[in-house]
Structure 1
Amino acid sequence: MEKKQKNNLVLPEEALVKILARCSLRSIARFRSVCKEWKSIIDCDFFRDFYESLNSSSSSVSWSIMDNKNKTEIVGQYGCKRWGLTNSLGSYITRYNPETKVRKTSVLCCTDGLVLLYTETMEGAPMYHVGNPLLQQWVRIPFPPHLSGYDVVRLQEDENFNDSGLVTKMEKGVAVGYKVVWTLVSDVVSNELTFMIYSSETGLWITKEVRCLRSLIWSRLARSVPLNGILHWLATIDNSSIDANYVVAYDFYNGGGDECPIIPFPDIQQFQATRRFKRTMTTSAGFVVYCNVYSENNAGERGIRVWRLVSTNEHPNSWQLSWNVKTKERSALVKLEDTQV
């Protein structure tokens, strides 16, 4: 197939693919509307594979929630060059124009380029949308059929309820489906979870009951980390620690079953006494990542250790130590050990 230009020059399809693949994702999305030929090229598997091969070393195209005291930037972004942004991502969220006037807008979750958005109308009615903020494409998520808007508001007041779960189904770097996940535990200390799951593929909600192998304290249920169709939560196993010491994971696309795996943090025993900060987790390079600072000895040496989660099974090898950075002084890094396998 050849594309004729106004100057009568013939542009081979191979050349067109190479040109388009070097454009930003935002531009590529617009180019799909130029003509049927361009849309066909951009939507084909060959173009997607070629684009990924050119940008495999680039950072992710996902968004992440950023804390800002001034509330001027509610979402941060990885891979600005790939999207071709000229303004902050937060400005695109504020341009969101729902079907009715709203008094509140909150970003609940971001993953693989999609954003789960919560809004309230001027009358206080809740609404949920999933979409791409740059393309300004939003889909309103209906409530579960057994819940009214009033019921949803009551659920939000329950500290054992979380409505910020969003996972995606990826194929060749493209999000082809998503699920919105609401989580409810029966009590602050419980081994039972109830998932209410909305699927973009069916347009329906289902309810699923799952269990953990032991009771956990769900004081940090409000935040979950999505990756590869799996949600991860922080939990504590007993009242002796105010910090999380386990990660709970559930796979919503590959048959999670009736049990939630619970994975202990890698520093629970060996480095527990020397850890300096509360545990948290994030994602990096396709892995859930945990890092912390540790006191190495009485001479003031400190170490920064970074682990990545390589398995959701409960065993000592679930975490892999990727980096071990040691310092002789608080402000100077003097030794870097790359222990990545």
Structure 2
Amino acid sequence: MEKPNDREMDLLTEEQWAIMLSRLPPIPIQLTKRPKISGTESLLEDLIIAFKLVCKKWKSLVESPFCRDLYLSMYQNSYCSSWSFMCRGCETETMAHYGSDNWCLTRSLGSYISSFLAEKFENREGRVVAYTDVGLILIYVVTNQSFYVANPVSRQCVEILPHNHVMERFWILGIVTRTEDEVVLGYKVVLLEKKKNFTSFLIYSSETGSWSLETVSFPFTFIAQEFNNPISLNGKLHWLAHNPEYKDFLVSFDFYPSGDKGSDRCRVTPFPDLDKTTKFTRACTTCQGFLMYINIVSVAEVDKLCVWRLKSEGWQLVSEISTDIVTAGFDYIPLGMNPFDDKLVYFWRGNMEGQDLLSINLHIEEFMVHEELERSSDGRVLSSVGGPREIDYIKESYYSSFVLPRWLHPFPN
């Protein structure tokens, strides 16, 4: 593309240029490096032009709040961005949703992650240890104990060198982000060391560019904590713990507290069905900026699919329907909720002979069994895990939702 000179740029105001750019597909606007991918992509991706490389003025315009706000207002009624359910531990994409969204992606997010890891790290040394709802993943390389924060679609990647502490003592808890208007302003990588009487967090902050050690004393007693699937949401990390009575609690810790809440950073919330018989191992998911909890609970000898939302005052029951709507029997495991639609919850079952992906609409109490690769009339693609070799592992695993934001603004280095 021929670069415009300053005189040509001055023929239009910045607002007019921003309006023009905001009407163009977002991937060509955002990508500064064309990803190396195998296979044939859509014509749109074949014709990607890195507008941010045209000239400094275009780069400034594309990254400006005015252009971002204008774009988001234009696409506020669009369905959603791409997202996936990722199986923790084996990095398997259990379910993917992509297609005719704002980004026009023709591959799943799991595919972008795989190709990014293959390009960036030799011998597949890098593994994903945390996913977010803002397009960032946390990667850990065991050989040199370094971390990387990356967006696998835009290919932006930041290396974080290890702290001089003995890293083996710490558990990788995850990554938390500070956002404003869907733009990541900062992030923290959080490691945890649990001692008998206290807990230490080893925290890397993008604002300071350094590690710091913070010791906290929780005002309650645990006999065990589970860090297999911490969930990052709104600057907090949430994980499961058990009290001395062997009851399950949710621990929430705020790593970006406001000024008047610094002393109230930790919260413990008992699960709402502790006095009931439940079907699934307790785990949480996210939807529309809230932490959600799904389980099948026996109520008066009737199995009910219950969904709760975590509010400031505790768990709020938002849905309760009979599992009898699934006529073939409910031998599924929960994957999570649609991150953008609180009506839809997804389940999976499988064996060596086959597998099913089940979605339930909580509002109309109807279900649908999906094929392994299913396209809707508008081009969206819903796909489930592609092969039986991972099935046994998937049955015993936790799942994280990985979501691409509507605006791929660069995150802090």
TM-score (normalised: structure 1): 0.75
Secondary structure of the structure 1 residue equivalent to 2:87: coil
Distance 2:17 2:78 in 1: 22
Comparing 93-102 with 110-119, which one deviates more in the overlay? 93-102
125, 132, 137: which is aligned to 1:104?
Answer: 125
Displacement of 1:128 after TM fit? 1.2
| Contact 1:185/1:194 (<8 A) preserved | yes
1:196 correspondence with 2:223: no
Equivalent in the alignment of 2:319: 323
Equivalent in the alignment of 2:239: 233
| Contact 2:117/2:124 (<8 A) preserved | no
1:91 correspondence with 2:100: no
Equivalent in the alignment of 1:28: 29
TM-score (normalised: structure 2): 0.63
- Over 3 Å counting, the alpha-carbon distance change for 1:135 and 1:186 in structure 2 is same
284, 295, 305: which is aligned to 2:287?
Answer: 284
Percent identity of equivalent pairs: 36
1:181 correspondence with 2:168: no
Displacement of 1:68 after TM fit? 8.8
Secondary structure of the structure 1 residue equivalent to 2:202: strand
Distance 1:75 1:276 in 2: 22
Equivalent in the alignment of 2:176: 167
Comparing 41-50 with 80-89, which one deviates more in the overlay? 80-89
- Over 3 Å counting, the alpha-carbon distance change for 1:279 and 1:49 in structure 2 is same
- Over 3 Å counting, the alpha-carbon distance change for 1:41 and 1:142 in structure 2 is same
Equivalent in the alignment of 1:117: 139
Please tell me the residue identity of whatever aligns with 1:231.
L
Equivalent in the alignment of 1:17: 18
Displacement of 1:102 after TM fit? 4.2
Equivalent in the alignment of 2:217: 211
RCO higher in structure (CA 8 A, sep ≥6): 2
| Contact 1:326/1:335 (<8 A) preserved | no
| Contact 2:188/2:205 (<8 A) preserved | yes
Distance 1:74 1:182 in 2: 26
Please tell me the residue identity of whatever aligns with 1:114.
L
Comparing 110-119 with 225-234, which one deviates more in the overlay? 110-119
Displacement of 1:199 after TM fit? 0.6
Encode CA deviations 1:275-300: one digit per residue, 9 max, x unaligned: 222211011101111111122333xx
- Over 3 Å counting, the alpha-carbon distance change for 1:63 and 1:199 in structure 2 is farther
Distance 2:193 2:24 in 1: 43
Comparing 61-70 with 46-55, which one deviates more in the overlay? 61-70
Please tell me the residue identity of whatever aligns with 2:319.
W
| Contact 1:249/1:262 (<8 A) preserved | yes
Structure 2: give runs of 5+ residues left out of the alignment.
Answer: 31-49, 329-359, 366-413
Distance 1:240 1:196 in 2: 28
Displacement of 1:165 after TM fit? 1.2
Displacement of 1:211 after TM fit? 2.1
- Quote the RMSD (CA, aligned, Å): 3.6
- Over 3 Å counting, the alpha-carbon distance change for 1:79 and 1:57 in structure 2 is farther
How many residues are matched?
Answer: 304
Please tell me the residue identity of whatever aligns with 2:130.
C
Equivalent in the alignment of 1:223: 229
Equivalent in the alignment of 1:82: 102
Encode CA deviations 1:56-79: one digit per residue, 9 max, x unaligned: 355665866612999664895778
Secondary structure of the structure 1 residue equivalent to 2:125: strand
- Over 3 Å counting, the alpha-carbon distance change for 1:328 and 1:309 in structure 2 is same
1:261 correspondence with 2:267: yes
- Over 3 Å counting, the alpha-carbon distance change for 1:328 and 1:76 in structure 2 is closer
Encode CA deviations 1:239-260: one digit per residue, 9 max, x unaligned: 545xxx2111111112544752
Comparing 29-38 with 12-21, which one deviates more in the overlay? 12-21
1:135 correspondence with 2:154: yes
| Contact 2:82/2:101 (<8 A) preserved | no
| Contact 1:326/1:336 (<8 A) preserved | no
Distance 2:118 2:363 in 1: 49
